[in-house]
Structures are given as C-alpha cells and as structure tokens.
Amino acid sequence: MASNRTFTMIKPDAVRAGNIGNILQMINAAGFRIVALKLTQMSMERAGQFYEVHAARPFYGELCEFMSSGPIVAAILEKDNAVEDFRKLIGATNPANAEEGTIRKLYATSVGENAVHGSDSDENAAIEGAFHFAGVELF
C-alpha cells in the first residue's frame, strides 16, 4: 500500500549553505504537505541512535560527526505515496549519480554531505518521525 507520510532532514551542509528555503520550496512544489517542522541539532549520541542501522558501515563515525555538526531541519511530510515519491525528489545517495532536477543534484556536494535525508520505508518513516517529534507537534 502506498504510504501517506515520510520523514526528512535538511542536513547541516544544506543549512550552512543557506538552502533551507530553496529545499522547502521544492518540497512544497512537489506536492508534499508539511505535517511537522523544526530547526534542531542532534548530539553525537542522538545521531548515533538515528543511524544505528548503519553502525557496522565504515562511514558510520564520519556520518554521525557530520550529522551532529550543526543544526538540521527535521520534518514530517504528507502526500500520496510519500516515501517513494520523496526518494525520487531527493535523488541518489551520491549526488554524482542523482538525476537532474533532484534536490541532491542541486544542493549536495558529496556522498557524505548530501543535503537531505529521506526515509526508505513506511516503517522507518514512522520510527524516524517519532524520533524527532512528539504527537502534539504534528499538524
């Protein structure tokens, strides 16, 4: 069944580069409704928990350092088929492989600093949304 909600983060590189507005504009233009939104920062420990699934990967330490290096924008987004459609909007993990017009093609600088996160399944969208937001923060 197609999902209605996904979870995203505008990562520290894109926040530092001043691209919050540009990326939110693309998200809105693609038809996603913002259900929850905040500027926040993860500690190294919280980043480690968020990316626990990647703990065995060689880039895990670097990933957690980067994701805790500055503020992020966390958001829950709603749209028919949200998870799959948002992954299409952000493009491939490595911006060198991302299609023209995708957020990562436009704003990511490397495979590690790739501007945005997008959930990869309905189950993870729910887990990741709950990691960052309390029920009263959803609208």
Chain residues in the site for ligand DAT (CB under 6 A) = 54, 59, 63, 93, 111-112, 114, 117, 120
Q: CB of 126: closest distance to Mg ion in angstroms?
A: 15
Q: What is the spatial distance between Cα 78 and Cα 7, in angstroms, rounded to a whole number?
A: 9
**φ, ψ for residue 45, nearest 5 deg:** -65, -45
Q: Is 54 a catalytic residue?
A: no
Q: What is the spatial distance between Cα 33 and Cα 17, in angstroms, rounded to a whole number?
A: 24
| β-sheet bridge partners, residue 10 | 73, 116
Toward ligand DAT, which CB reaches closer, 38 or 57?
Answer: 57
Q: Which residue is nearest to Mg ion (CB)?
A: 120
Task: Name the binder of 20 from ligand DAT, Mg ion, none, CB < 5-8 A by kind.
Answer: none
The residues that are catalytic are 117
